[in-house]
């Protein structure tokens, strides 16, 4: 999402975009976008101060760290970015900031549920689905 500070009217303005990918550099085997990320922004400028309020919503597809099953979580985040207006570089590119904020929302340990039992270390059976055959 790019915003041209020369086009921000006195009353401000709103816009909405969809981001379909976090980019190859940010997508991982453990976390990816599930569908588009909806980005709603409201920009305003007072003298040389630009304020952009952003609301993000979408779904993240993750892989459980214990059982390796895929699961989804909802992503909803409100952000506020403040910039100093620079007439020599009038375009503000929010994409890097938005991607960074999405990454900061990644959990350190991705779990499909808090009580996930994981996989049997001997046979690899998913212990959430019942006892494995190798343990007695």
pLDDT tens-digit map of 108-122: 888 999 999 999 998
- Predicted TM-score (pTM) of the model is 0.77
> For residue 135, is it within any domain?
no
- The pLDDT, as a whole number, for residue 30 is 61
> For residue 48, is it within any domain?
yes
> For residue 44, is it within any domain?
yes
8 Å CB contact between 54 and 44: no
**Spatial separation of the C-alpha atoms in residues 125 and 133, rounded to whole Å:** 8
Range of the domain at 50: 2-129
> For residue 134, is it within any domain?
no
Looking at the structure of the chain, the number of domains it has is 1
> For residue 15, is it within any domain?
yes
Range 97-111 average pLDDT: 84
Q: Rounded to 5 degrees, what angle do the CA atoms 38, 13, 41 make?
A: 25
> For residue 122, is it within any domain?
yes
């Amino acid at each position: 999402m790019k915003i041209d500070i020369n086009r921000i009217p006195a009353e401000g303005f709103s816009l909405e975009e969809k981001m379909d990918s976090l980019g190859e550099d940010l997508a991982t085997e453990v976390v990816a976008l599930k569908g588009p990320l909806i980005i709603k922004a409201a920009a305003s400028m007072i003298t040389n101060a630009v304020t952009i309020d952003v609301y993000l919503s979408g779904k993240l597809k993750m892989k459980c760290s214990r059982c390796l099953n895929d699961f989804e979580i909802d992503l909803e985040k409100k952000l506020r970015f403040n910039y100093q207006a620079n007439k020599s570089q009038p375009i503000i590119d929010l994409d890097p900031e938005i991607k960074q904020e999405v990454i900061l929302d990644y959990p350190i340990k991705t779990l499909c549920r808090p009580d996930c039992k994981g996989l049997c270390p001997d046979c690899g059976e998913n212990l959430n689905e019942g006892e494995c055959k190798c343990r007695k």
